[in-house]
Structure 1
């Protein structure tokens, strides 16, 4: 099934490791086969991984963008997820953590990334702020 991306003027995204930028008008891109695509709003820089949930998101994102080298990021992911689960009592969030782990083991990294957003939302609620960095979807409109 093709993936259709509607792009804003100047919007950047990563496509199979290459950073691509849309021109000065809205555009539509249709991908006919499987590819690793991540929009600019979902890309996290290493220095933005400043909270436990974001430290889970970062290695999952790297596994998604560099599937051939995913083993390099997996240990960091496991370490961060284990730490996070060790201090969380919310059963729904723990279930999300298990789902993230299962998706990573099945190499379903994009699904795991979208579930990581739930952890980031939960963490932001608990901390009482919304830091800059990866969009959690609440600002999408």
Structure 2
């Protein structure tokens, strides 16, 4: 089954590690075979890896884009996921972590990435509470 992606003017994406930028007009591409492809919005730069969930997302992304070095990235993923699961008490979040880990074990990296992105909002909310000094049980105005 072919994959059709529509690109905004100037939008970047990665195909098997090659960064490609769209021209100055909206365009569509049809990918006919299996490749590792990520849109610009799904690409995390190393400098943006500043939170626990992003430390989980980043090695999954690298495994997806560079399966040749998968073992090195896998070790980092396991370390970061273990750390995160050790401090998380929310059963729904832990279930998402298990789902991500299962997808990584099956080499379903893109699916693991999209599931991991679900944790960004959870983490951002939690970090927002911490940065404003609001306790977990407190409510915001």
Q: What do residues 29-69 of structure 1 show as CA deviations (whole Å, max 9, x unaligned)? A: 00011110001111111111100000000000000101122
2:35 corresponds in structure 1 to 35
Which residue does 2:105 correspond to in 1?
105
Does structure 1 residue 65 correspond to structure 2 residue 68?
no
- Give 2:12's aligned residue: 12
Equivalent position of 1:122 in the other structure? 122
The structural deviation recorded for 1:2 is 0.7
Looking at structure 1, the residues matched to 117 and 66 of structure 2 have their Cα atoms a distance apart, in angstroms, of 20
Distance 2:8 2:40 in 1: 11
* RMSD (Å) for aligned C-alpha atoms: 1.0
* Other-structure match for 1:74: 74
C-alpha distance in structure 1 between counterparts of 2:75 and 2:121, whole Å:
24
Instruction: Tell me which moved more, 1-10 or 120-129.
Output: 120-129
| TM-score (normalised: structure 2) | 0.89
Q: Secondary structure at the match of 2:35?
A: coil
Give the 3-state SS of the residue equivalent to 1:50 in structure 2.
coil
The TM-score, its normalising length taken from structure 1, stands at: 0.89
Structure 1 residue runs of 5 or longer lacking an equivalent are 130-141
Deviation, 1:98, is 0.5
Ranked by relative contact order (alpha carbons within 8 Å, sequence separation 6 or more), the top structure is 1
1:83 aligned residue: 83
The size of the alignment, in residue pairs, is: 129
1:101 and 1:68 mapped to 2: Cα distance? 19
